Amino acid sequence: MKTKLSLFRLSLLLLTFVYSSTATYIAAPQSIPQLPKPLAAETFHLTEDMEVGLEIEARSPHSAWIRRGAEASALLISVDGKYNQDLLLWAGDEFFNYRVMLGRFPGGKHTISVALNTARSAAGARRAEVISLRPVLLTTSRRATIVDEDQMALAHSPFLYARANTIDRFTDIPLLMYYEILRDAGGVLTVRYTVIFTNEDGGTQTAPLMARWGRATDIEWVYQIRAHGGKIVEETYQGVEHETKVFTGHRTGGRHPLLAVASDNNNFSDLACSAVRFAPLPIRARLEKATRESVMDMYPQTYRVMTEELIREKRISDTPTDANTIADPREYLYIEAVSEQEGAALAFDVKVSGQAKPFASDMGEPRLRIDRSGYFRTAVRLPKNVSSAEVETITARCSVSSKPAGERRCKHLKVVRALMLDKNYVPRPLTLPTQPESSLTAGETKVFKLAQP
């Protein structure tokens, strides 16, 4: 572990040196000496300086994220002849509407060009089809639905340099970015940006991810701003080893911070860069009464791509035998709940009709129980081909955790939702009865009976 950490720090130091030596060069959009032949182009006119996004409907023929050597083709996006970002067509052979942030542009005429980036495409996926480009003008005019706080959030969304050891390996790519907006009693506005990656090559292993988080994607907050009186008073980001650090890096396209994915568990640096960068157009998420994982439910493709990457990396098996292997994610029941843990941890047992024993989220291992408070999600593996109609009960189990505490309780417990993925990875909710909050002491259980259709 120490050797790996030392090697990582050395590589990060080298990246930092390169970045520091060329910071001004990479922060500004660079002209591309000879643009590849465009697959599509679109010209737009701005009456004033404005943030601009882009919707691209495209596909990568005969590719699939699951296919080694034919995972995806890559698009090179340029604006007015200058490099803006790359886009991996991770949805594969099907047409999909990808959304990216281009940045802030001055009033006047601008041209977006999208071309195949052969060098960044998989060897078996060096074709792409683009059927539409639609600039998205992110304005506060009457014609838009964006309010001032959303405008500020969009204007500061980060651009991400790909982790150097993921380039051309089609792993751990950012699928979605979302932001949350919170206000405190003192009037301070906080905007936090979070990225959903396909997976993480380092950090938490796959089986514990499913047990404690209810997914195998990696969800990481990347950047946060705090503003008061219309002025930004603090900018921070999630550094390596989950350290919150003050942002002192460079920007592009207006006020967009440049950050790099800098560790195998997808933490970040403002002093590193790579040859590829991404900028998903962020969506606003309201998670006061929901989990981060619930954002994935709105975009079922995230579950499919998550699964395909796991299969390609041999992390899915009909008979999982280690902590880095799971069953097909469509064979799990996903449970979202809320509770306040005091020196305690929760796990869930699921009773299936015709099965003598229940199936446990923690698989009998205390380390796989959930000891954090708030809204959380877990996943329980069920036998193959079990339907939602066969799920009879969900039992919450409150156990002693390793955290010191006077009383050991799971307070204000409520099961919010339960769902399963259908054959197309679309989340399908199960019907839960109306329920009051429960408070359990360590050793107690609470049974929730599901309503049958």
Which CATH number characterizes residue 122's domain?
2.60.120.260
- Please say if the pLDDT value at position 25 is more than 60: no
Which of helix, strand or coil describes residue 125? coil
Instruction: Give the model's pLDDT for residue 22.
Output: 41
Residue 100 resides in a domain: yes
Tell me how far apart the alpha carbons of residues 381 and 350 are, in angstroms, rounded to a whole number.
9
Q: Is residue 278 part of a domain?
A: yes
Q: Flag whether 305 is in a domain.
A: yes
Same domain, 262 and 400: no
In a domain, 158, yes or no: no
Instruction: Look up residue 186 and give its amino acid.
Output: G
Residues 320 and 190 in one domain: yes
Q: Which residue has 């994935």 as its token pair?
A: 296
The average confidence (pLDDT) of the chain is 92
Alpha-carbon gap, residue 307 to 198, rounded angstroms = 9
User: Residue 91: is its pLDDT beyond 70?
Assistant: yes
Q: Which of 286, 304, 326 is the last residue of a domain?
A: 326
**The residue to which tokens 């089986």 are assigned:** 207
Q: Are residues 321 and 231 in the same domain?
A: yes
pLDDT of residue 15 exceeding 90: no
Tokens linked to 289: 């009464």
Q: Do 350 and 318 share a structural domain?
A: no
How much is the pLDDT for 19?
42
Give yes or no: residues 56 and 69 share one domain. yes
Q: Cβ contacts of residue 36 below 8 Å, gap of 6+?
A: 76, 115, 116, 117, 118
**Residue pair 49/80 in contact by the 8 Å Cβ criterion:** no
Determine, yes or no, domain membership for 224: yes
Cβ–Cβ < 8 Å for 111, 121: no
Q: Which residue, 453, 448, 393, 422, is CA-closest to 332? A: 422
H or E element: which one contains 420? Answer: strand 409-421
Question: Would you say residue 122 has pLDDT above 50?
Answer: yes
Boundary-marking domain end, from 301, 326, 351: 326
Q: Are residues 365 and 445 in the same domain?
A: yes
Is the separation of the CB atoms in 73 and 26 below 8 Å?
no
Q: HSE (CB half, 13 Å, CA atoms) of 50?
A: 21
For position 453, what pLDDT does the model report? 61
Whether the per-residue pLDDT at 172 is higher than 80: the answer is yes
Average pLDDT over residues 247-274: 97
For residue 451, the model assigns a pLDDT of 77
Residues 111, 189 share a domain:
no
Contact residues for 309 (Cβ-Cβ < 8 A; gap 6+):
65, 66, 170, 171, 198, 199
- pLDDT (tens digit per residue) in 64-87: 999 999 999 999 999 999 999 999
- State whether 202 and 269 are in the same domain: yes
Q: Is residue 220 domain-shared with residue 322, that is, in the same domain?
A: yes
Say which residue, 328 or 11, is predicted with more confidence: 328
The backbone torsions φ and ψ at residue 21, rounded to the nearest 5 degrees and listed phi first, read -75, -25
pLDDT value for 141: 52
Instruction: Answer yes or no: is 64 within a domain.
Output: yes
Residue 332 reports pLDDT greater than 80: yes
Residue 425 in any domain: the answer is yes
What is this structure's pTM?
0.92
Beta-bridge partners for 191: 181, 225
Segment 420-448 shows an average pLDDT of: 96
Looking at the 3D structure of the chain, how many domains does it have? 3
pLDDT, residue 29, reads: 64
Interval 249-259 mean pLDDT: 97
Placement of tokens 């619930």 in the chain:
294
Q: What are phi and psi of 4, to 5 degrees?
A: -60, -40
Q: How confident is the model at residue 229 (pLDDT cuts 50, 70, 90)?
A: confident
Same domain, 320 and 345: no
Q: Write the CATH number for 391.
A: 2.60.60.20
Query: Which percentage of the chain shows pLDDT scores above 70?
Result: 91
Structural domain harbouring 415: 330-449
Does 309 share its domain with 193? yes
- pLDDT score of 325 more than 70: yes
Are 177 and 319 in the same domain? yes
